[in-house]
Structures are given as C-alpha cells and as structure tokens.
Amino acid sequence: MRILVTGGAGFIGSHLVERLISSGHDVVIIDNFNDFYDPQLKRRNFSEIVGTAEEGEQNLILCEGDIRDADFVKAVVLQESVDAVIHLAAAAGVRPSIENPLFYEEVNIRGTMNILEAARTAGVRFLLFASSSSVYGNSFKTPFSESDPVDHPISPYAATKKAGELICHTYHHLYKMNIACLRFFTVYGPRQRPDLAINKFTRLIDQGKAVPFYGDGTTSRDYTFINDIIAGVEKALSWVCSVEPRYDIFNLGGSRPVELSRLVEILESELGKKAILDRLPMQPGDVHITFADLAKSGSILGYQPVTSIEEGLRAFIRWYKENN
C-alpha cells in the first residue's frame, strides 16, 4: 500500500513510518517541522527514517507543509495517489492548549477537515485518526471504555480531539469512508517529545535540577510504550482496510496506570540519582487518572501491549544516554 502519514517526522510518526517501510509499504510524509519543540529533533528523526529507506525514491517521500493549507494537502493526496491516510499531525499538549486555544482549533479541527476533504476528493477510503485519552476528561469511572460518555472535556486540546472524532464520523456517514479513531494513552519511548513528563523528568534528574511535581504524587497515567502503540496502529490499519464501510473508536493503552510518585522512583533507580522535587499544585486541565479498557481493541483488533513500565523506561533511558 501507499500510505500518507501526517506528522510523520514526530515522535510517534517517525516510529510508525519506519515500521510501515519495513513491512513493505510506500510512505508519503506530511510534516511542517514546526517550532513547538526544537525542529532539529524532528529533522533528526527523519534522518533516522532515511536510514531505513531511500528518501525521494518510491518508498519514502517527504512533503513539507502545513495541514492548515487545504490546497497543499489536497495536492499531496491527489498527486501521490495514496491508498490510506494515518492522520497523526496535531497541535499537542493539554497545558499549551489552554494558553493558545485558537491555534489548537486551527490545527486540530480545520487541519483534520482538510485531510478528510482531500481524502474524499481523491477517493481514499481508509483513514486512521489519532485521538487521545484526554477526551475522557476527569472521569472517576475506571477503566475508561470507548462506550463511556465523553461530553465533558477539560482542556481545549481534549475538546479538539473529540471534535475530530465527530468530524470523522460525519465523513464516514456521508461518504462511506472506513475510519478508525485511536485513543492513545500517554505514549513514551525513544524520541519522545522533550516537553513530556518522562523525557523532562529524566533530563532534570540527570542534570541535578528541580523536577516540577504537580499534586501529591497520587495522580496516575496509563503509560504506553511506543512499540505497543505502533503494533496497535498496524492492527487498526489492517482492520480498517478489510471491513465493509465502518467507523469505530479504539483505546490503545497499557492498561496499567502508574502513580506519579512511582514513576519518579523508577527513574531515580534507573539513573542512579535522586530527584529534587519542586512541589506544585495541580494544574488546570490535568486529570487525576487515565486507565484504558482494552477489551474492545483486544477482541476486535487483537491489540495486546507487552511492555512493562520498568522495561519501557529502561529502553527510554538507554536511548537518552546514547543521544544526549
């Protein structure tokens, strides 16, 4: 297949592109290398992808541009004759979305509509949309199931991801596109964005600097190792390309929440250094827990995460030491 991956030079995207190429697919990347974090990190990700494929050859093409540019997106989808789209590109992060909500609306809602419109125009029937566990809001009913109501997001980022799911359903309903929305739960691993907790905490502990520690340490996250996420995306792609016109939503998580205090303990142990904690109040938009119910994604997709938090953090820190 010839697959378009938006955000293909990012953390998740670069791992996915490598896996798709190794599986024999041709890949077209759309990425604008924006400055949400150092663009050189994404350039480095892309250079590592090139190590597994010949960029500019048939199996890997980079189209540098912004998904907010409808004409650009449509031209790529039409000219490159893609068979499926995996839409990962987004303005990411809960806290930044509170500071700049209109930007998040432009990228995550209008950008997603541009992708869907281009796919519709080109006759592309298969699409995966990267959603987020943040759509569940501050639910205390655990684990989070795809059938749970998600009508009360507590950040603009979460609201835009829920909106994306709804827009995807509309395009499925009107144009019979096969679409799966994948709710990712706190993905981590090599190449993780520097603003995310595991990367930031590792760096600060290693440098002997204070770690911003929000709340009393009992908040917990369903951390999911990158290899497990990529396996889940592959299974979702196989499913969406093999069923009759269908729309569905799937959780992709680890289903083993880890408390913040425990996360710090593991990082301390792996680094051999003690964390200096800067204790701060909970932040607006933060949730108390995320916890994926994997019954549906397990039974329909065959998704089953295998990496423990200890194994995953060990792999991340090994990458951090090799690349820092």
In a domain, 210, yes or no: no
Rounded CA separation 257/221 (Å): 5
What would the pLDDT profile of 91-102 be if each residue is shown by its tens digit?
A: 999 999 999 999
Rounded CA separation 109/88 (Å): 13
What would the pLDDT profile of 221-279 be if each residue is shown by its tens digit?
A: 999 999 999 999 999 999 999 988 999 999 999 999 999 999 999 999 999 999 999 99
Domain count, the chain: 1
Phi first, then psi, for residue 151 (nearest 5°) are -100, 5
Question: Is 157 an annotated catalytic residue?
Answer: yes
In a domain, 192, yes or no: no
Range(s) of the domain holding residue 173? 2-187+226-254+293-306
For 1-5, 139-143, 236-240, 260-264, which range has the lowest pLDDT when averaged over its residues? 139-143
In a domain, 277, yes or no: no
Average pLDDT, the chain: 94
In a domain, 104, yes or no: yes
In a domain, 271, yes or no: no
In a domain, 194, yes or no: no
In a domain, 18, yes or no: yes
Rounded CA separation 48/95 (Å): 30
CATH of the domain at 98: 3.40.50.720
Pairing between β-strand 84-87 and β-strand 126-132 as defined by DSSP bridges: parallel
In a domain, 212, yes or no: no
Catalytic residue, from 104, 136, 157, 223: name it: 157
Instruction: Indicate the pLDDT class of residue 143, thresholds 50, 70 and 90.
Output: very high
Q: Give the global pTM.
A: 0.95
CB 164 within 8 A of CB 129: yes
**% of residues, the chain, pLDDT over 70:** 98
* Sheet with 2-6, side-by-side order of all strands: 60-64, 26-31, 2-6, 84-87, 126-132, 178-184, 247-252
